[in-house]
Amino acid sequence: MQFKQLAQFWQKIEGRASRLEMTAILADLFKEAGAEEINKIVYLSLGCLQPKFAGVEFNLAEKMVLRSINRAFNCQSEAIYKKTGDLGKVISNFQLPISNKISNLTVKEVYQRLWEIAVDSGQGSQERKVNNLARLMQDLDSLSAQFIVRIPVNNLRLGFSDMTVLDGLSWMVRGDKSLRPELEKAFNVCADIGFISQEFKNYGIQRIQKIKPQAGVPVRPQKSERLASAEAIVEKLKTFAVEGKWDGLRVQIHLDRASAKASAGEAKLFEDKQAALVRIFSRNLDNITAMFPDISAAVEKLAVKSIILDGEAVAFDPKTGKLRPFQETVQRKRVHGISEAVKSLPIKVFVYDILFLNGGSLIEKPFRQRRKILEAIINQPGVLNLAKQDIVADVRRLRELMADYIKQGLEGVMAKKLDEPYQAGARNFNWVKLKKATEGKLVDTLDCAVMGYYLGKGKRTGFGIGAFLVGVISGGKIGSVAKIGTGLTDEQWREMQQRCQKLSIKVKPAEYLVAKNLNCDVWVKPQLVTEILADEITKSPIHAFGLALRFPRLVNFRDDKTVADATAKQELEKLFRLQKQ
Q: Which residues are catalytic?
A: 245
Cα–Cα distance, 50 to 36 (Å, whole number): 15
Cα–Cα distance, 193 to 187 (Å, whole number): 7
Do 61 and 153 form a contact (C-beta atoms < 8 A)?
yes
In single-letter form, the type of residue at position 378 comes to I
CA distances from 376 to 188, 300, 367, 501 (A): 27, 16, 14, 49
In single-letter form, the type of residue at position 240 comes to F
Do 165 and 146 form a contact (C-beta atoms < 8 A)?
no
**124: helix, coil or strand?**
coil
**233: helix, coil or strand?**
helix
Cross-strand partners of 331: none
- Measure the CA angle with vertex 229, ends 228 and 232; round to 5°: 95
249: which DSSP letter?
E
| H or E element that contains 356 | strand 347-357
**By C-alpha distance, which of 326, 328, 341, 221 is closest to 281?**
221
Torsion angle in degrees (nearest 10) through CA of 511, 516, 522, 524: -20
- Measure the CA angle with vertex 527, ends 339 and 146; round to 5°: 110
Whole-number CA gyration radius for the chain: 24
Cα–Cα distance, 295 to 306 (Å, whole number): 15
First to last CA, the chain: 56
Contacts of the segment 76-82: beta carbons below 8 A, 24+ positions apart: 82/506
What's the chain's length in residues?
581
Do 273 and 267 form a contact (C-beta atoms < 8 A)?
yes
H helix runs in 435-520, sequence order: 490-502
228: which DSSP letter?
S
| 286 exposure class (CB count in 10 Å sphere: 0-12, 13-18, 19+) | middle
| 130 exposure class (CB count in 10 Å sphere: 0-12, 13-18, 19+) | buried
Cross-strand partners of 415: 242, 432
**269: helix, coil or strand?**
helix
Cα–Cα distance, 291 to 335 (Å, whole number): 6
